[in-house]
Amino acid sequence: MNESPLFTRTYDFLMWLVPQVQKFPRVHRFTLAEHIQRLALEFQDNLVAAGKSAGDARRDLLKEADIQLEQLRHWARFSRDNGLFTVNQYEHAARMMAEVGRLLGAWLKQFSG
């Protein structure tokens, strides 16, 4: 499970994201930055839990992770629009989230029918 590309790419994304949001100005560090970090960590937690689950529980965890990834996309854009991420940082984050999203989508597709 931990060697899956989804887990590897998610880990890489978290390793990049957490230090970036910790650099937010103090006024945003304890609200927006903390929210983004918590959301990203919960996303990772749901992936791990899904990897250890089966059936409906797995599907539900993956759907929750998909929602959290979409929320992260919105908060990254909000951060860019408010000058907290540079355009390059935002583009990097968007590319990483797109890749994670494709991998998550492939896993979710197993449950569509």
Domains identified in the chain and CATH numbers: 5-109 (1.20.1440.60)
* Predicted pLDDT at 89: 97
**Residue 10 in tokens:** 């998610």
Q: pLDDT grade, residue 3 (50/70/90)?
A: confident
* Predicted pLDDT at 1: 54
Of 105, 22, 33, 17, the residue nearest 63 (C-alpha): 105
What mean pLDDT comes out for the span 85-95? Answer: 97
pLDDT over 80 (residue 4)? yes
Look up residue 82 and give its amino acid. Answer: N
**Residue 79 in tokens:** 């951060």
In whole angstroms, what is the distance from residue 104 CA to residue 5 CA? 10
Residue 84, CA distances (Å) to 80, 89, 93 in order: 6, 9, 13
